Chains A and B, each alone.
Chain A
Amino acid sequence: MRKKQYRLHQSDLSSLLENLRRRGYQPYGPQRRDHAIEWLPLDGIHQLPAGWTTTTAPATYRMQERSDQALFGYWTGPDSLKKLLHPPEACLLKAEYNGGVRFVRQAPAEVKRAFIGVRACDLAAVAALDRVLLSDRWVDDIYQANRNGALLIAVNCTSSAPTCFCASMGSGPRARSGYDIALTERVGDGSSEFLAEPGSEAGASILEELTALAAPAGWEKEAEESCQSAAAAQTRAVDASSAPAVIDRTFDHPRWDQTARRCLACGNCTSVCPTCFCVNIEERNALDLRSAERLRVWDSCFTQAFTYIHGGSIRTTPKSRYRQWLSHKLARWQEQFGMPGCTGCGRCIAWCPAGIDITEEMAALEASSGSTYPTGVSTHGN
């Protein structure tokens, strides 16, 4: 059965916020702050970045004014839902000294938040985090509490940024699953209208309460066509299916050395990546020394300490760390979790200060990965 599709006017978005609040959700939306798009609590529709867009290129991210007043006429910013669902800092445990020691841990409470404007690539990223943190042998209960309370309102991409390659990763530009409501913006003169499709029961019931207007015939087809033309306009691509094999036979490829000369091992790519989940644990002692907290903080495989064991770190060079990161995203993740760890959002390309481009790296490895570099043969002496 075809799902009912609705027509929303820009003014209906205010009712949408109202509706979400009534249901106990704190709305979040993309907003312009510090010259970038950022996920922030959304008090009103006026806070959306109407009339703004972003231009991206390797090592470049700029906000620019558009010629129209599109609300969602920009692409992904440096942050993603990872920031809110798998927060950069979380308290895991408190140890209280009272002669002995007492470990106090509060089960994390569900946080109800509705995210308006989630791109297809970021829906795929949430699915990837779900797989790692919820559907593996152990469950991360902090992520679980945040995720259970999350309502996802997607916005389809009807155009692509120069750094986008979601089409090749199969994650976008159109949201296919994992959303509660998917919107396609139709920019008009001064205000926008939206094709709205429910993706869950919650989404359907919200839309039913908002409007009785069905989407005009042809809107769905037009949405599909604009998303397809956005996909066709993408100039970057990764061959996701061949990537694991290419990576397997290029462990000692000289390309890694060349890239390592540019890589600063700064960890920007892992910070902006919507699927990079690695964390470290820090101890915070209370000033009175009567208790200590264990804090979980985002970590990056680009740091020297990441692989430290007694005697030294395993990955001492930026070369090995970049290779680990790219290999994990495009090959190992597939083996570990049955899906790629990259969604094609392009953030790592734009936010790399050296402009290292994962699609260019893969293309270079693929182009020259003959039988010269068989897997398992090291050029280093043992």
Chain B
Amino acid sequence: MSLLVETTAAAGRPTWETVPGRIAAVSKETHDTFTLQVEPPPGDPVARFRPGQFSMLYVPGVGELPISISGDPGHRELLTYTIRSVGQVTYQIVTRKPGDFIGLRGPFGTPWPVEEARGKNVLIVAGGIGLAPLRPAIYHVLRHRGEYGRLVILYGGRSPRDLLYRKEFAAWGMLPDIQAMATVDYGGVSWRGHVGVVTTLFRHVRLQPAETVAMLCGPEIMMRYATRELESRGFAQGQIHLSMERNMKCATGHCGHCQMGQFFVCKDGPVFPYSQMKPYMDLYEL
């Protein structure tokens, strides 16, 4: 596991110190999902993130949530978050207006293994909102295109109207040496793409397991099947990386909520090598 997090996270700053972030823009991605651009205080370490890390976003008087950063790690003047409005706090965040302020802490957690993946192919497998935490890794690969082999992006959503970043996704697919495919559970009459769970896309792509690093984020059930599928296709456990989700209150390993066996998902994760998660993936109510 990468120890670099210790230097890139806001270490040295008291755990609960929160800085104001000014909302620069709110845009609607889908019927329930929004992307926010937040301007951190100039030069603040809260913006020094690596792909896969998350921030704690705080709406005063309402609450605080861990939200993955979904923007380009090469553009740190604005922090980007893609949020599905499903609860009190997420609703309050996505209904903020430009010029409003929210509280920021972080960045926290382990990053995607973009350094390890250098010189190799990258396979991205995303489910639903899980594409958001993976997008910084995609941006990283695109920005350093020569340092990586093929980039395969497989994305599953519930229905066409739930797919994120649709224009951008289509544009990724037009770039050389990139394969980007989406599939949905329910297509509807106008959908002409794939229908089925994301693992059904595996047979359409050339995976080259020996030279590929896989990064997965989505519902646990999706990652459970995707990891099995990848293993059966010859991926070693150490080549597969997952981003896990658990309840988090502090992000620093002190509130206890995010424990998963021996791990605190907030500080030992959220990105784990599959070798660490495999013993836990099938344990019900762990």
At the interface, yes or no: B61 with Cβ under 8 Å from chain A? yes
Q: Which of B11, B16, B64 is close to A105, meaning CB atoms less than 8 Å apart?
A: B16
Q: Which of A105, A292, A319, A328 is close to B60, meaning CB atoms less than 8 Å apart?
A: A292
User: Chain B residue with minimal CB distance to A334?
Assistant: B262
Assess the A332–B262 pair: CB atoms within 8 A.
yes
Assess the A95–B279 pair: CB atoms within 8 A.
no
Complex Cα gap A294–B17 (Å): 11
Assess the B224–A382 pair: CB atoms within 8 A.
yes
Dominant secondary structure at the A interface: mixed
Complex Cα gap A100–B97 (Å): 12
Number of residue pairs spanning A and B whose beta carbons lie under 8 angstroms apart: 133
At the interface, yes or no: B145 with Cβ under 8 Å from chain A? no
Assess the A105–B256 pair: CB atoms within 8 A.
no
Complex Cα gap A133–B245 (Å): 23
At the interface, yes or no: A139 with Cβ under 8 Å from chain B? yes
B123 to chain A, nearest CB (A): 23
Contact code string A317-335 (vs B, CB < 8 Å = 1, else 0): 1011000100010001001
From A68-76, A109-117, A150-158, A300-308, give the one contacting chain B.
Answer: A300-308
User: Chain B residue with minimal CB distance to A99?
Assistant: B101
Contact code string B263-279 (vs A, CB < 8 Å = 1, else 0): 01001000000000001
At the interface, yes or no: A174 with Cβ under 8 Å from chain B? no
At the interface, yes or no: B87 with Cβ under 8 Å from chain A? yes
From B72-80, B194-202, B234-242, B246-254, give the one contacting chain A.
Answer: B246-254
Assess the A138–B254 pair: CB atoms within 8 A.
yes
Assess the B224–A103 pair: CB atoms within 8 A.
no
Assess the B245–A309 pair: CB atoms within 8 A.
yes
Assess the A100–B246 pair: CB atoms within 8 A.
no
Complex Cα gap A336–B17 (Å): 25
A249 to chain B, nearest CB (A): 12
Complex Cα gap A107–B14 (Å): 9
| B residues in contact with A105, CB < 8 Å | 14, 16-18
Assess the A138–B15 pair: CB atoms within 8 A.
yes
Complex Cα gap A124–B286 (Å): 28
Dominant secondary structure at the B interface: loop
Assess the A316–B285 pair: CB atoms within 8 A.
yes
A135 to chain B, nearest CB (A): 11
| A residues in contact with B20, CB < 8 Å | 100-103
User: Chain A residue with minimal CB distance to B285?
Assistant: A320
User: Chain B residue with minimal CB distance to A333?
Assistant: B262
From A53-61, A181-189, A222-230, A274-282, give the one contacting chain B.
Answer: A274-282
At the interface, yes or no: B103 with Cβ under 8 Å from chain A? yes
A113 to chain B, nearest CB (A): 22
At the interface, yes or no: A220 with Cβ under 8 Å from chain B? no
Assess the B254–A132 pair: CB atoms within 8 A.
yes
| A residues in contact with B17, CB < 8 Å | 93, 103, 105
| B residues in contact with A310, CB < 8 Å | 84, 86-87
At the interface, yes or no: B170 with Cβ under 8 Å from chain A? no
At the interface, yes or no: B174 with Cβ under 8 Å from chain A? no
Assess the B63–A138 pair: CB atoms within 8 A.
no
Complex Cα gap A310–B90 (Å): 11
A107 to chain B, nearest CB (A): 7
From A39-47, A77-85, A163-171, A372-380, give the one contacting chain B.
Answer: A372-380
| A residues in contact with B4, CB < 8 Å | none
Assess the B254–A309 pair: CB atoms within 8 A.
no
Contact code string B92-133 (vs A, CB < 8 Å = 1, else 0): 000000000101000000000000000000000000000000
Assess the A101–B60 pair: CB atoms within 8 A.
yes
A287 to chain B, nearest CB (A): 12
User: Chain A residue with minimal CB distance to B267?
Assistant: A137
Q: Which of B256, B279, B285 is close to A279, meaning CB atoms less than 8 Å apart?
A: B256
Query: Known contacts A101-B103, A328-B259; is A314 also within 8 Å of B16 by CB?
Result: no
**In the complex, chain B residues 11-32 whose Cβ is within 8 Å of any chain A Cβ:** 11, 14-20, 22
| A residues in contact with B254, CB < 8 Å | 132-133, 136, 138, 140, 277, 279
For the complex with contacts A93-B16, A137-B253, A294-B58, 6 further pairs of A-B residues with Cβ separation under 8 Å are A95-B18, A95-B61, A138-B252, A138-B253, A292-B60, A378-B283
Interface residues of B (CB under 8 A from A): 6, 11, 14-20, 22, 58, 60-64, 84, 86-87, 101, 103, 221, 224, 245-247, 249-250, 252-257, 259, 261-262, 264, 267, 279, 282-286
